[in-house]
Amino acid sequence: MRHVVEQLAASRIREVANEGLGRADVLKFWFGESDEVTPGFIRDAAIASLQAGETFYAHNLGLQELREAIAAYTENLHRGRGTAHWIGRLAVTSGGVNGLMLAAQTLVEAGDEVVVVTPAWPNLVAQSLIMGARVTSVPLRVQTEGARAGAWVLDLDALLAAITPATRMLVVNAPNNPTGWTLSAAEQRSILEHCRRTGTWILADEVYERLYFADDTPNGAAPSFLDVADPDDRVIVAHSFSKSFLMTGWRLGWLVLPPALTDAVGKLIEYNTSCAPVFVQRAATVALQRGNEVTPALVEHLRHCRDTLVPLLRALPGVTLAEPLGGMYAFFRIEGQDDCLAVAKRLVREAGLGLAPGSAFSPEAAGWLRWCFASRDTSRLVQGVERLERWLQAHQQGT
Ligand code: PMP
């Protein structure tokens, strides 16, 4: 076995989830997905495709109809270059995670230096490690004062200082899992200009682009590198159907690439998965075409979930938490509860509450807990906070 594979960390979120195996009474907020089933009309499109006998291989880069639908969707959100412009820059991938891995396979040589902004979804670090890169992390900092105390914020100067001509790739995920941090367009411009000077690739994970609550952009979506970059910039943007269309289990995403890279990524897709399943692509095409029936209501519901959970958590003694600006996670710490992995396991066993430990996302996030608030029934969130409160009370009394 390759050394890096042997060294890959097992998922700490799984480690906590294993504590609750076989327990139906645990309220589970540990994984990054909504508990809402994919809308019926999307499922129907997959069924119709299978009934029509679409059981064969397809184009490496994805069905033409799907790429056209993604192009129209992208055109609608970003920069008005025309639908035709986007089609030559798209690769349909087997989930966002596969798209990110393909980007790493395309760009990263063994021994290259990769910079990752952390806390981050662990896969973003692991993928470059698998390619044999040396990964350096640039941690967000926790704001300690003011109305947004507990928010994780970017030290732009520290990030730019960490990116040198030796840096092959910067990996940045905003809106961020787990912190809810988002990048401003001005920060994206500074990062892009700096990376143009150093010759560094930017791999922008924008899978939470639509799950944005700040109301300060014309399209309602989070600021995107696609809005500031030119087509030939060294920028790859990763997207997914998982979050905005409630399709986590379908395993479908896409990359937006500089045109010169598209065919190379197509070759790599051949050797990884060959293509995404056709019936899944048919479902995704319909999801995009009728996206207005899904995403806006989902975002409003998530806003409601956030606005239900965050004040309740903040009212608990010792809890530090800033309202997340994007994504679907509340990321918080509890004073005196610093061993978050142990706390998360105890919460499962003793309180029936399933959260993810911050240490899964970076060493700086040790002591923090992530709560995925994408819950169809918001009373589950209220119940979860009650369980946490009772556990804290019992714990503080030493019982
Ligand atoms: N990026 C981030 C930051 C994520 O949190 C996730 C899913 N948890 C993904 C990418 C990948 O999502 P998927 O593979 O389901 O498309």
Query: Does the C-beta of 240 come closer than 6 Å to ligand 1?
Result: yes
Please report the pLDDT score of residue 21 as a whole number.
84
Q: Which of 240, 241, 255 to mutate to test the pocket of ligand 1 (most atoms within 8 A of CB)?
A: 240
Task: Give every CB contact of residue 80 below 8 A, 6+ residues apart in sequence.
Answer: none
Q: How far is the CA of 288 from the centre of ligand 1 (A)?
A: 18
Query: Does the C-beta of 179 come closer than 6 Å to ligand 1?
Result: no
Query: Does the C-beta of 176 come closer than 6 Å to ligand 1?
Result: no
Q: Please write down the HEC assignment for all residues of the chain.
A: CCHHHHHCCCCHHHHHHHHCCCCCCCEECCCCCCCCCCCHHHHHHHHHHHHCCCCCCCCCCCCHHHHHHHHHHHHHHCCCCCHHHHHCCEEEECCHHHHHHHHHHHHCCCCCEEEEEECCCCHHHHHHHHCCCEEEEEECEECCCCCCCCCEECCHHHHHHHCCCCEEEEEEECCCCCCCCCCCHHHHHHHHHHHHHHCCEEEEECCCCCCECCCCCCCCCCCCHHHHCCCCCCEEEEEECCCCCCCHHHCCEEEECCHHHHHHHHHHHHHHCCCCCHHHHHHHHHHHHCHHHCHHHHHHHHHHHHHHHHHHHHCCCCEECCCCCECCEEEEEECCCCCHHHHHHHHHHHHCEECEEHHHCCHHHCCEEEEECCCCCCHHHHHHHHHHHHHHHHHHCCC
Residue 52 structure tokens: 């029509």
Query: Does the C-beta of 34 come closer than 6 Å to ligand 1?
Result: no
The residue whose C-alpha atom lies closest to atom 16 belonging to ligand 1 is 96
Query: Does the C-beta of 122 come closer than 6 Å to ligand 1?
Result: no
Q: How far is the CA of 96 from the centre of ligand 1 (A)?
A: 5
Question: Using one digit for the tens of pLDDT, what is the confidence trace for 324-363?
Answer: 999 999 999 999 999 999 999 999 999 999 999 999 999 9
**Nearest CA among 305, 295, 352, 367 for reference residue 330:** 305
Q: How far is the CA of 241 from the centre of ligand 1 (A)?
A: 9
How far is the C-alpha of 320 from the C-alpha of 141, rounded, in Å? 14
Q: How far is the CA of 252 from the centre of ligand 1 (A)?
A: 10
Query: Does the C-beta of 361 come closer than 6 Å to ligand 1?
Result: no
Please report the pLDDT score of residue 79 as a whole number.
78
How far is the C-alpha of 108 from the C-alpha of 127, rounded, in Å? 10
Question: Using one digit for the tens of pLDDT, what is the confidence trace for 167-216?
Answer: 999 999 999 999 999 999 999 999 999 999 999 999 999 999 999 999 89
Query: Does the C-beta of 93 come closer than 6 Å to ligand 1?
Result: no
Q: Please say whether the beta carbons of 33 and 374 come within 8 A.
A: yes
Confidence of residue 395 (pLDDT cuts 50, 70, 90): confident
The residue-averaged pLDDT of 299-312 equals 98
Query: Does the C-beta of 97 come closer than 6 Å to ligand 1?
Result: yes
Confidence of residue 80 (pLDDT cuts 50, 70, 90): confident
Q: Which of 242, 247, 272 to mutate to test the pocket of ligand 1 (most atoms within 8 A of CB)?
A: 242
CA distances for 282 relative to 40, 50, 82, 86, 205, angstroms: 14, 10, 23, 19, 24
Question: Using one digit for the tens of pLDDT, what is the confidence trace for 132-174?
Answer: 999 999 999 999 999 899 999 999 999 999 999 999 999 999 9
Give CATH for domain 3-38+294-389: 3.90.1150.10
Query: Does the C-beta of 121 come closer than 6 Å to ligand 1?
Result: yes
Which atom of ligand 1 lies nearest, measured to the CA of 176?
Answer: 3
Q: For 40-290, which CATH class?
A: alpha beta
**Residue 398 pLDDT > 90, yes or no?**
no
Please report the pLDDT score of residue 22 as a whole number.
86
Q: pLDDT > 70: what percent of the chain?
A: 99
Question: Using one digit for the tens of pLDDT, what is the confidence trace for 17-53?
Answer: 999 888 999 999 999 999 999 999 999 999 999 999 9
Please report the pLDDT score of residue 397 as a whole number.
55
Confidence of residue 399 (pLDDT cuts 50, 70, 90): very low
Q: How far is the CA of 395 from the centre of ligand 1 (A)?
A: 34
Which atom of ligand 1 lies nearest, measured to the CA of 205?
Answer: 1
**Residue 233 pLDDT > 90, yes or no?**
yes
Q: φ and ψ at 385, to 5 degrees? A: -65, -40
Q: Which of 97, 118, 273 to mutate to test the pocket of ligand 1 (most atoms within 8 A of CB)?
A: 97
Please tell me if the domain spanning 3-38+294-389 has the same topology as the one spanning 40-290: no
Please report the pLDDT score of residue 126 as a whole number.
96
Handedness of CA 353, 359, 361, 364 (dihedral sign): positive
Q: Please say whether the beta carbons of 172 and 141 come within 8 A.
A: no
How far is the C-alpha of 244 from the C-alpha of 348, rounded, in Å? 28
Q: How many residues does the chain have?
A: 399
Task: Show me where the domains of the chain are located.
Answer: 3-38+294-389, 40-290
Phi-psi region of 183 (alpha: psi -120 to 50; beta: other; left: phi over 0): beta
Rounded to the nearest angstrom, the gap between the alpha carbon of residue 127 and the centroid of all alpha carbons in its chain is 14
Question: Using one digit for the tens of pLDDT, what is the confidence trace for 85-133?
Answer: 999 999 999 999 999 999 999 999 999 999 999 999 999 999 999 999 9
Higher pLDDT, residue 81 or 190: 190
Please report the pLDDT score of residue 157 as a whole number.
98
Q: Hey, which residues does 369 pair with through a beta bridge?
A: 332, 357
The residue-averaged pLDDT of 247-269 equals 98
